[in-house]
Each structure stands twice: as C-alpha cells, then as structure tokens.
Amino acid sequence: MGWRLAVLSDTHGSREAVRQFREREQSSSDALIHCGDSEFTADDPDMKGFLAVQGNCDPPGAFADRLTTEAGGLRVLVVHGHLEDVKSGMLRLRYRAAETGADMVLFGHTHMYGAEEAGGVLYVNPGSPRLPWPGNPPTYATVEGGEEGVTVRFMRPDGSEAEAKNFPHFRGSR
C-alpha cells in the first residue's frame, strides 16, 4: 500500500495559496505539511489540519522549530531550513537528519524547488507557490511512495506538473 504527502512552504501570508493547496491536495494525501513561512499562527483556521513548522517570517513561537512524522515506515523530518542555514549549503541540514535518524527531510526557506538523495536520505524542498526563486515556476510538492520507490512531483498552484523526480531504489537509511 502506498502513501502520499503534500508539501507546501513559503506562502508568506497568502491565504489563497494555502486554501488552493488544501482544496487540491487534502482528499488524496495522507498528510498536509507546511515547511514554514506561512506567516500565520497555529490556531489560524487556514492552518487547520497542517503539520507545520516555524519559519523565520512566522509570528514568534507560532510553531515548533522542527517535527518528525512517519510515512510508509520512513521517519520524516520537517524543518524550515533557516536554523540549518540552507541558503549557504546542505551540511547542517545533513547533520540534523543524521542526529534525528531521518530517512527524509522536508524543508523550505530558499524558495527553490528540488529533490535529491544523499547518504540514504531524501531531501525535498517544495519551492514556493507565491514567491518562487527567479527563473522557477511557483510550486509545491507531492511525495508518493510505494513498492516502486518514491516519486516527487513539483506542482504548479493550478495543478499542472512542473517537474517530477523518481527515486526507484529509495528505501530510507534505517
């Protein structure tokens, strides 16, 4: 049996982006995840049902700095990325993954979408549906796993696919 995560980040106060994402992804996903910089509080109605972490632009103390969840037997670490200084490189994020025993890390902060496997850990940044990195389309991500590995799809807010990456041999690091 497969699993599916819908991952959003860096919506920066856009209720429209959060609502559109929820409407499109809630019924087909096992979890809705926000990797920070929603600029909302945890009790905001638009954040209801999200697993969310604190971004550098969120109200102080709105969310935890990081959280872990499970998907298909994989340990998933969710962070924004500013505390791991991801704009300067991935080293601190890799240390964080190792210290938490993560198989997958979901993060934002750079507004640049991407996915890569390194050291048995899958790293996914969904980009931003509101303020994408110059030259990138506005995006969020879906991460689907099953017997044939993991597929990460970067989706435009209208539901069209911007890019997909397959990790057919990914099974996690544990």
- pLDDT for res 107: 98
**What pLDDT shows up at residue 172?**
72
For residue 171, the model assigns a pLDDT of 78
d(CA 88, CA 98): 19
Cα three-residue angle 59-154-97, rounded to 5 degrees: 60
Domains of the chain by start residue, with CATH: 3-167 (3.60.21.10)
pLDDT at 174: 54
Please give the chain's pLDDT, 174 residues, in tens: 699 999 999 999 999 999 999 999 999 999 999 999 999 999 999 999 999 999 999 999 999 999 999 999 999 999 999 999 999 999 999 999 999 999 999 999 999 999 999 999 999 999 999 999 999 999 999 999 998 899 999 999 999 999 999 999 897 765
Burial bucket for residue 94 (CB in 10 Å: 0-12, 13-18, 19+): middle
- The SS3 of residue 16 is helix
CA contacts within 13 A on the Cβ side of 118: 13
Sign of CA dihedral 39, 40, 46, 49: positive
Q: What is the pLDDT of residues 66-114, one digit of tens each?
A: 999 999 999 999 999 999 999 999 999 999 999 999 999 999 999 999 9
